[in-house]
């Protein structure tokens, strides 16, 4: 079929779908404003459907797959979109949801043998692919039709992917986007992994980890509709700025209501009042604003207190404390009435073991009280003196069963690790270090439990910065392990607190509970940038795999020696040139320290260039021109990146990961400035 005919054919189908969407939208009447609860609920559902149809009206689908089921005579065209659209009259799907089982064929098929199969709820479905087509629709108008496979035509092998390259070449604003139209097969496999797994993803910079994890949530909600709920899912990201950056993706995928937070915020809430966190800026200054040795990192409190062996010590101490909770004393509410310690211990053991200790303590004390009332008898119990004397004895006994707060318990059990913070008391909350938060959270869960419902699924982004203890705590707020844990050891710049090998985390789970994937194709940056960044890590040990670029070529990476010249002058020259190029919508200037950032920000302002200066306590990234310390840029991306101080004095041999993070933030352009000797990390 000629290209024109194809286009006409697709335009006709699009018109049919558009007409159907318009008619369905017209059928949804005005909002219900009455008081009837059932009507209100129905109205909510209608509004939800309306939102879906309105989204679909702009871009109802992006792909077409012609599939012939085994034994069937004809090909069935399947149009794949962000949300399914059905014909109101008749049950024929006009558009199939991207998460439907059959849609997996669209993503997993990359040429080769067209005899394929997919798993449906009713079993394996086999068949043959006859056509794979990408369709670009904007504002309801068909723009492009690109076939990547047609049955009977020679398979060139290079099925991929004009469409993908087009998308990757676009410039970015201040928000991460969905990728439903171009999910790659290795990403699709992760998105569709079954629910009850702790799924670990090691992926190189720009391989789509964050994006894929968010799509996986949308998939799980679709696939396990009756089993998982959005309000029992949680996304943990490194900071609030990053949360803002990713906040657009789920709504684009039609998913709402998922809690997005940081580990610290989550833990603080669990601990209730009474605890305040020392500012995170202290930690960052400690590790990034002055020189640090390997030894200091190895022996950092975060590594020690987050380790598996500390977790074990903690659990043992809690077990022991629980064992010794019941004192070696009888309970005797009045002379002649006595319950021996062994008996009371027996009762304590009868309380359900999965209940938090202090709840069991409470129930035991209530049981003792009931026992006392029965033993004394109703008649004597109504005598005020008898009652108050016995109750006083009961209270005295209860006071011998300690009921500490998490902070008090920790300080008493591990005085060498944690001192009862000053100011901790009734009026002012106790200030604690970030590395003590996970410990306190674990103690809190063991002592008091939580009011929160167990989480159906938890996503942990930048998980290389997590300690085993943090993950163990999160495992405890789930019934079964269902997590997506993603990160990149090569970007482990916070290794004074995080892990160095994935096994540190995976060994918390039974092998059959875990799955592990690696992503080594990078979609963010041009080949030139990826090859440059890979060279930085060459010297690093630990068997790191270099990122594999998608074949997208751009400008060469530039380096410029500024000698004794003024840094702000040099930066301003480059930025002025870049800002003339409209395709560079977001530009970042990255410096090694916050101090340099501040100076450069002021210098650029003097030269008439306004920029946003990002700092550790920042809530939002707005796009445009941004100056940011390199260690805070992790997870973000920019059309162009200027590394302003790529000097040997700024990036020493230990800073390879940091420099790697900086370089891999760039999509299209990367330039490094240095005075006279560039960092040896980029020497070749
Ligand atoms: N299949 C895809 N199609 C189109 N774009 C993609 C695809 N996969 C990833 N991308 C794009 O690549 C960029 C990097 O994605 P993302 O930030 O999710 O990667 P990451 O692995 O989390 O990166 P990092 O570890 O560097 O933070 C994003 O702009 C994303 O939209």
- Domain positions in the chain: 1-170, 177-325+402-519, 326-401, 540-674
484 CB within 6 A, ligand 1 = no
pLDDT of residue 426: 56
205 annotated as ligand-binding: yes
* Helices and strands per DSSP (H, E), number in the chain: 25, 25
Secondary structure class of 614 (helix, strand, coil): coil
Residues in the chain, how many?
684
138 CB within 6 A, ligand 1 = no
- Between the CA of 585 and the centroid of ligand 1 the distance, in Å, is 17
238 CB within 6 A, ligand 1 = no
What is the best residue among 208, 492, 494, 637 to mutate for testing ligand 1's pocket, by most ligand atoms within 8 Å of CB?
208
Q: Which among 448, 488, 465 is positioned nearest to 359, based on CA atoms?
A: 448
CA-proximal residue: ligand 1, atom 23 (nearest): 206
Chain mean position to CA 122 = 32
**What does the CA dihedral 173, 178, 184, 185 come to, rounded to 10 degrees?**
160
Longest alpha-carbon distance in the chain: 103
State pTM to two decimals: 0.90
Fold identical between 177-325+402-519 and 540-674? Answer: yes
- Between the CA of 662 and the centroid of ligand 1 the distance, in Å, is 15
From residue 267, how far is each of 264, 270, 282, 424, 463 by CA, in Å?
5, 5, 19, 17, 16
What is the best residue among 523, 525, 666 to mutate for testing ligand 1's pocket, by most ligand atoms within 8 Å of CB?
523
Strands (E), 36-121: 63-69, 76-81, 85-86, 93-97, 115-120
pLDDT of residue 608: 94
Low-confidence ranges of the chain (pLDDT < 70): 90, 154-160, 280-281, 421-428, 539-544, 684
210 annotated as ligand-binding: yes
203 CB within 6 A, ligand 1 = yes
CA-proximal residue: ligand 1, atom 13 (nearest): 524
Give the whole-angstrom CA distance, residue 463 versus residue 492.
9
Give the whole-angstrom CA distance, residue 217 versus residue 99.
11
- Sheet order of strands, 612-613 included: 558-561, 666-674, 638-643, 587-591, 625-629, 612-613
203 annotated as ligand-binding: yes
pLDDT of residue 273: 78
Chain mean position to CA 446 = 25
CA-proximal residue: ligand 1, atom 19 (nearest): 208
170 CB within 6 A, ligand 1 = no
pLDDT of residue 395: 95
- Between the CA of 168 and the centroid of ligand 1 the distance, in Å, is 9
167 CB within 6 A, ligand 1 = yes
The single residue listed with the structure tokens 């330039």 is 671
- Between the CA of 185 and the centroid of ligand 1 the distance, in Å, is 14
Secondary structure class of 26 (helix, strand, coil): helix
Superfamily name with CATH number, domain 540-674: P-loop containing nucleotide triphosphate hydrolases (3.40.50.300)
161 CB within 6 A, ligand 1 = no
**What does the CA dihedral 178, 183, 186, 190 come to, rounded to 10 degrees?**
50
Strands (E), 488-544: 514-519, 521-522
Give the whole-angstrom CA distance, residue 502 versus residue 488.
10
pLDDT of residue 683: 76
549 CB within 6 A, ligand 1 = no
- Between the CA of 211 and the centroid of ligand 1 the distance, in Å, is 6
pLDDT of residue 302: 72
The topology (CATH level 3) of 177-325+402-519 is Rossmann fold (3.40.50)
Question: What radius of gyration do the chain's Cα atoms show?
Answer: 30
pLDDT of residue 240: 82
ipTM of the complex: 0.98
Burial of residue 548 (number of CB atoms within 10 Å: 0-12, 13-18, 19+): middle
Give the whole-angstrom CA distance, residue 236 versus residue 269.
14
pLDDT of residue 306: 83
């Amino acid at each position: 079929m000629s290209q024109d005919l194809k286009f006409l054919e697709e335009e006709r189908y699009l018109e049919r779908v558009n007409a159907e969407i318009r008619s369905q939208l017209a059928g949804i009447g005005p909002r219900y404003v009455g008081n009837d609860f059932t009507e209100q609920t129905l109205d909510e559902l209608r509004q939800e459907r309306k939102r879906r149809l309105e989204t679909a009206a702009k871009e109802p689908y992006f792909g077409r797959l012609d599939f012939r089921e085994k034994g069937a005579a004809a090909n069935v065209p399947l149009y794949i979109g962000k949300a399914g659209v059905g014909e109101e009259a008749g049950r024929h799907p006009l558009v199939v949801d991207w998460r439907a089982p059959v849609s997996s064929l669209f993503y997993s098929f990359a040429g080769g043998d067209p005899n394929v199969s997919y798993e449906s709820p009713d079993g394996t479905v086999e068949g043959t692919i006859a056509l794979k087509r990408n369709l670009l629709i904007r504002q309801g108008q068909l723009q492009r039709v690109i076939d990547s496979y047609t049955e009977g035509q020679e398979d060139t092998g290079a099925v991929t992917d004009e469409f993908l390259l087009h998308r990757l070449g676009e410039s970015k604003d201040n928000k991460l986007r969905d990728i439903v139209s171009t999910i790659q097969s290795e990403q699709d496999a992760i998105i569709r992994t079954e629910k009850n797994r702790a799924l670990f993803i090691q992926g190189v910079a720009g391989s789509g980890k964050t994006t894929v994890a968010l799509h996986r949530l949308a998939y799980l909600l679709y696939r396990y509709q009756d089993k998982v709920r959005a309000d029992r899912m949680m996304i943990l990201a490194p900071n609030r700025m990053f949360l803002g950056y990713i906040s657009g993706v789920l709504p684009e995928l039609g998913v709402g209501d998922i809690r997005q937070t940081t580990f610290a915020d989550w833990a603080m809430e669990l601990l209730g009042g009474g605890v305040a966190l020392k500012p995170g800026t202290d930690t960052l200054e400690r590790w990034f604003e002055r020189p640090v040795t390997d030894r200091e990192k190895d022996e950092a409190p975060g590594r020690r207190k987050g380790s598996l062996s500390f977790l074990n010590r903690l659990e043992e101490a809690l077990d022991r404390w629980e064992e010794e909770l019941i004192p070696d004393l009888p309970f005797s509410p009045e002379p002649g009435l006595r319950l021996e310690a062994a008996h009371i211990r027996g009762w304590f053991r009868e309380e359900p073991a999965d209940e938090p200790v202090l709840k069991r303590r409470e129930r035991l004390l209530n049981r003792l009280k009931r026992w006392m009332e029965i033993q004394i008898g109703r008649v004597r119990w109504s005598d005020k003196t008898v009652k108050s004397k016995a109750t006083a004895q009961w209270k005295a006994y209860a006071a011998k069963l300690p009921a500490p707060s998490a902070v008090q318990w920790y300080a008493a059990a591990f005085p060498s690790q944690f001192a009862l913070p000053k100011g901790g008391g009734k009026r002012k909350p106790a200030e604690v270090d970030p590395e003590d938060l996970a410990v306190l959270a674990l103690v809190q869960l063991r002592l008091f439990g939580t009011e929160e419902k167990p989480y159906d699924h938890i996503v942990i982004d930048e998980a290389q910065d997590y300690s085993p203890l943090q993950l163990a705590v999160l495992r405890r707020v789930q019934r079964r392990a269902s997590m997506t844990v993603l990160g990149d050891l090569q970007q482990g710049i916070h290794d004074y607190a995080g892990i160095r090998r994935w096994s540190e985390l995976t060994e918390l789970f039974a092998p059959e509970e875990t799955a592990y994937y690696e992503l080594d194709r990078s979609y963010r940056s041009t080949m030139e940038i990826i090859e440059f960044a890979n060279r930085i890590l060459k010297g690093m040990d630990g068997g790191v795999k270099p990122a594999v670029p998608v074949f997208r070529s751009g400008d060469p990476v530039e380096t410029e020696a500024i000698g004794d010249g003024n840094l702000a002058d040099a930066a301003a020259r480059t930025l002025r040139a870049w800002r003339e190029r409209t395709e560079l919508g977001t530009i970042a200037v990255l410096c090694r320290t916050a101090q340099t950032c501040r100076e450069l920000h002021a210098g650029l302002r003097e030269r008439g260039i306004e920029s946003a200066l990002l700092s550790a306590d920042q809530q939002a990234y707005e796009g445009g021109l941004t100056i940011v310390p390199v260690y805070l840029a992790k997870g973000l991306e920019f059309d162009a990146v200027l590394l302003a101080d790529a000097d040997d004095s700024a990036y020493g041999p230990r800073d390879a990961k940091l420099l790697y993070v900086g370089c891999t933030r760039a999509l299209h352009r990367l330039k490094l400035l240095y005075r006279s000797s560039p960092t040896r990390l980029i020497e070749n």
